[in-house]
A and B are shown apart, each in its own frame.
Chain A
Amino acid sequence: MELLGYFNYWVFAIVFAIGLYAVIAKLNLIKKLLGLAIFQSAVFLMYITMDKVEGGTAPIIQKGIEGQLYSNPLPQVLILTAIVVGVSMTAMGLAIVVRIKEAYGTIEEDEILDSDHTA
C-alpha cells in the first residue's frame, strides 16, 4: 500500500521512456512527433501528481465551507499553459513535416538523409 504512493511516478518514468524511445528510434517524422507528445504528457503527469493533497479537492474555494483541504494550484497553472504550448509546437512541427513531404516525397528520416547525400 505504501509503495502504491509511488505508482504515478513509475508510470511517469515508463511513459517518459516510451516517448523518448519513439523520438530516438522511429524514423517516421509523424511518429517522432507523436513520441514527443507522449514524452510531454509524461512530464505533465509528474507535475500534476505533485499537486495532490490527501483528502484535498480541486482548488475552487467555496464560501462558507471551513476546514476543507485544497490541492496545490501552482503546478496546475504551469501545466495548463504547457498543454497549450504543446499543441502550438505540434502544429508547427506538423506544418514543417508537410513541407518536407512536398520537398522530398517522403517523411522517413533515412530516405530524406539519403536524398540529401545523393543530391
Chain B
Amino acid sequence: MIEVVFGVFLLTLLVITAVAVVRTENLFVAVMLMSIFSLLMAANFFILDAADVALTEAAIGAGITTVIFLGALALTAQREKRSPNGRFATLGVISVLAALMIWATFDKPRLGDPDAPVHQHVAPWYLEQTPELMGIPNVVTAVLGSFRGYDTLGEVFVVFAACIGVLFVLSAGQGLDRGLFAPDPESEGLRHHLIPKVVGRLLVPFIVLFGLYVQFHGEYGPGGGFQAGAIIATGVILYALLEGEASALNALPRSVLLGMVVGGALLYTGVGVAGMLLGGNFLDYSVLMSDPVIGQQVGIVLIEAGVGITVCGSLLSIFHAFAAREAR
C-alpha cells in the first residue's frame, strides 16, 4: 500500500517536471530539471523492482547526460526564443493521442498482475535456469552477459560508433589545446573555490571506488559494466571540473581514452572468438573452462569488464570533445 502511494507521488512529480522542462525558456533550467526528471525516473524504476535499471538511469540519465547537455549549452545558447503560434494545433493533436493511449491502457493487465502475459512466456525459464547454468545470483546480468550476449555486443558497438561519430563531428577544424574550461591555466576549473575543491577532492576517489565495486559486484548485486563505466566517467568528469580539463587529460590522455574505447570492444569480441577457438559457438562461454558453470562466470566477468572499459572511455571522450571546443 505504502509503495503504491509513494509510486503515485513520484509519478505525479515526474509529470510536473516534464511539463516544466518543456515550458521553461531558460535552457539551463531545462537541463537541470531534466536531471531531476531522470532521478525521479530512477526512483520509480527502483520501486518497480528494477534495481539495475535504476542504477543505470541515475548514473547515465541524471549524471552523464546532464554534463553533455551543459557542454553543448556552453557552445550554443542559454535561452530559447519564444515559440511562434500554431502550438494549439499541435496541442490538440497530442491531447487526442494521449487520450487514445489512456483509453487503450484499460486493456492492459494491472500493475503487478502475476497472470500478465509477459510473465508467462520465457521469463520463468530464465529465473529457474540462471542459478543452475550460470551460478550467479543476478539474473539481469546473466541475461545481459550470456543469454543475450549478442545484443550486448551490438550495444557496445553502438556506444563505440556514437563516440567515433561525436569525435568526427566535433574535432574537425580546430586546435585542441584551448578548452572551454581553460581560458587561462591559473584560474581553470574550480580551483579557487574552496568548498567545491575540498568536498570534490574527497569525493573523487570514492566515486571511482564505488564504480569499481559496481563493476565487479555486478554478478551478485545490481550493477555491471554499463553502470560502472558511467560512474567512473562521472568521477573523472568531476575531477576535470575541479582541476581543469588539462589536468584530467594529463591523468587520462586522449590516446588512452581511445585505447579504452577500442580495447573494451576488442576484449568482448575476443572472448567470443576464444569460445569459437575452443570448440564452442561465438560468445559461448561454457567452453572457456573445464567446468561450464565456471566458464560462464569467467566469460561474464570478462565481457562486463569490456563493456565497462568501452563505456567509460566513450563517455569521457565525448565529454572532452565538447569541453575542448571553443564557443564561437
Contact = CB atoms under 8 A, between A and B. Distances in A.
B21 A81 contact: no
B139 A38 contact: no
B22 A94 contact: no
Contact of A73 (B27, B114, B127, B226): B127
Contacts of B216: none
A9 B113 CA distance: 14
A9 B61 CA distance: 21
Interface in B32-61: 34, 37-38, 41, 44-45, 48-53, 56-57, 60-61
Interface string A58-92: 11111100000111111111011101111111111
- For chain A, the bracket of interface size reads 35 or more
- For chain B, the bracket of interface size reads 35 or more
Contacts of A59: 49, 127, 138-140
Contacts of B57: 44, 83
A2 B111 CA distance: 10
B98 A53 contact: no
Interface in A20-40: 20-22, 24-28, 30-31, 33-35, 37-38
Nearest to B108: A9
B318 interface: yes
Contact of A99 (B22, B38, B169): B169
A100 B203 CA distance: 37
24 contacts: A4-B111, A6-B105, A11-B15, A28-B80, A28-B81, A31-B30, A33-B69, A37-B61, A38-B18, A38-B22, A44-B45, A48-B45, A51-B49, A52-B111, A59-B138, A76-B140, A77-B144, A81-B144, A81-B152, A84-B60, A88-B159, A90-B68, A91-B318, A92-B165
**Among all A-B residue pairs, the 6 with the closest Cβ atoms:** A5-B110, A88-B162, A54-B112, A17-B98, A9-B105, A71-B49
